[in-house]
Amino acid sequence: MTSGTSTQTEIPIRTDVLIVGAGPVGLFAAFEAGVIGLSCQIVDTLGRIGGQCIELYPDKPIYDIPAIASCTARELVDRLMEQCRPFNPPIHLDQRVETVEQRDDGRWTVTTAQGLVFDTAAIMLAAGNGAFVPQRLALPEATPLEERFVHYSVRSLADFADKTVVVAGGGDSALDWALALRRVARKVVLVHRRNGFSAVASSVDQMKRAVDAGEMEFMIGSIAGLQMLDDKLASIEIRQIDGMAQIDADHLVVLYGLVADLGPIAKWGLEIVGGRINVDTSNYETNRPGVFAVGDIANYPNKQKLILSGFHEASLALRKAYAYAYPDKKRTHVHSSYDAGLAERITSSAAHDAA
Ligand SMILES: Cc1cc2nc3c(=O)[nH]c(=O)nc-3n(C[C@H](O)[C@H](O)[C@H](O)COP(=O)(O)OP(=O)(O)OC[C@H]3O[C@@H](n4cnc5c(N)ncnc54)[C@H](O)[C@@H]3O)c2cc1C
């Protein structure tokens, strides 16, 4: 399966269905698209697939996926990837869809903020609660320092070599990056508002051992202010229970977790209620014909935000999408158990993997 960060395209990528969101519902939609004979492309704003399953609860067991008594959220995503592998859907990561325009021929032009352009017959929004974006510091002085001295992710450890780095946060990312940064930075200080962490126990133990060994520092408090000198970050003010403290620092890495934001999709002329998109439950189409909403982003009476509901919604939506991609063709339904073409594709994909 081709997945990865794509660069700007001059020529639009033509497809039958553009699936926005590589969460569990988007991945299952890619499989279903293949089954009914539609090509698809997937985009996700994140740098990895899996949506909420991977971002919010990868190691928690899920018990209500039909015929799987129990599997972790990560295992579910692995299984969904395996299921859609025979169709090899291209997955474009780090791509946030921004604009949509319907052309005179009825097809859609969709662009991403990073410059990809798609030419698609139908759009399947499987965008969950919207794009995950990092929770930012609520300090006005942080904005002009972003990218240079205030970071919401770590792209390359080498950027922090021999620097003094403050890492803010108490979750998995904050601890993992603080531990990794201590190997290259001159000094690493982890700042978290309390002495309890939402990271896995093994990371917490490792961090405490690193602090005891003098490899990094830990401070309880919250980031209260940033001081600049010569257009560079100079020091960070920390609010603690017994007053303010100051740390001289070259970089601040803020890892407060992700928040969901519907973002540009909210401007697509769709009917949105409470951050979710109204659909017709006979085919999960929105008020814009050819644009579908499935999974957590779909809104209709008695909607349940469950993975299995999203699977059903995607399956019905794609059947309607087929009519947009192939208006002159009549699709006849074949049960997968009787679909010889599908069986052959799955068998040859398995043989290819085994070789
Ligand atoms: C802690 C927890 C436990 C849960 N347990 C269960 C359970 O046991 N059983 C169950 O059925 N459900 C469970 N759920 C709910 C389940 O995870 C969701 O129903 C499911 O993830 C919805 O899938 P989705 O594909 O619709 O959306 P998501 O998983 O939210 O994925 C949406 C994807 O779309 C991407 N995206 C959004 N906007 C854009 C954009 N503009 N451009 C590009 N990409 C975009 C996002 O980055 C994201 O990757 C749980 C949820 C949580 C938080």
Ligand 1 atom with the smallest distance to the CA of 50 is 49
52 a known binding residue?
yes
292 a known binding residue?
no
Per-residue confidence (pLDDT) for residue 85, from 0 to 100: 94
- Give the residue, by CA position, lying nearest to ligand 1 atom 12: 306
209-261: pLDDT as tens digits: 999 999 999 999 999 999 999 889 999 999 999 999 999 999 999 999 888 78
CA 55–ligand 1 middle distance (angstroms): 9
Per-residue confidence (pLDDT) for residue 332, from 0 to 100: 86
Per-residue confidence (pLDDT) for residue 263, from 0 to 100: 84
- Kindly report which listed range (3-12, 153-162, 194-203, 300-309) carries the lowest average pLDDT score: 3-12
Structure tokens that stand for 263 in this block: 């973002």
- Give the residue, by CA position, lying nearest to ligand 1 atom 35: 21
Q: Supply the mean pLDDT for the chain.
A: 94
CA 133–ligand 1 middle distance (angstroms): 14
Could you tell me the residue ranges of all domains in the chain? 13-132+259-354, 136-256
Per-residue confidence (pLDDT) for residue 115, from 0 to 100: 94
Residue 352 has pLDDT above 90, yes or no: no
CA 52–ligand 1 middle distance (angstroms): 4
349 a known binding residue?
no
What mean pLDDT is predicted for residues 308-327? 98
- Kindly report which listed range (4-13, 116-125, 214-223, 282-291) carries the lowest average pLDDT score: 4-13
CA 116–ligand 1 middle distance (angstroms): 23
Indicate the fold that domain 136-256 takes in CATH: FAD/NAD(P)-binding domain (3.50.50)
Ligand 1 atom with the smallest distance to the CA of 61 is 8
What mean pLDDT is predicted for residues 81-91? 96
Per-residue confidence (pLDDT) for residue 274, from 0 to 100: 87
Give the rounded percent of residues in the chain with a pLDDT score beyond 90: 82
CA 295–ligand 1 middle distance (angstroms): 8
Token pair 């679909």 in the structure block, residue: 339
Q: Fold identical between 13-132+259-354 and 136-256? A: yes
Per-residue confidence (pLDDT) for residue 9, from 0 to 100: 58
Residue 3 has pLDDT above 80, yes or no: no
Ligand 1 atom with the smallest distance to the CA of 310 is 26
CA 129–ligand 1 middle distance (angstroms): 7
pLDDT bin (cut points 50, 70, 90) of residue 5 is low
- Give the residue, by CA position, lying nearest to ligand 1 atom 46: 131
pLDDT: which is higher, 353 or 96: 96
251-292: pLDDT as tens digits: 999 999 888 788 889 999 999 998 899 999 999 999 999 999
The binding-site residues of ligand 1, defined as CB within 6 angstroms of any ligand atom, are: 20-26, 43-46, 51-53, 56-57, 62, 64, 96-97, 126-132, 263, 265, 295-296, 305-308, 310
Residue 323 has pLDDT above 80, yes or no: yes
Q: Which of 18, 25, 27, 52 to mutate to test the pocket of ligand 1 (most atoms within 8 A of CB)?
A: 52
The CATH architecture to which 13-132+259-354 belongs is 3-Layer(bba) Sandwich (3.50)
CA 259–ligand 1 middle distance (angstroms): 12
Per-residue confidence (pLDDT) for residue 68, from 0 to 100: 97
- Give the residue, by CA position, lying nearest to ligand 1 atom 8: 62
Residue 7 has pLDDT above 60, yes or no: no
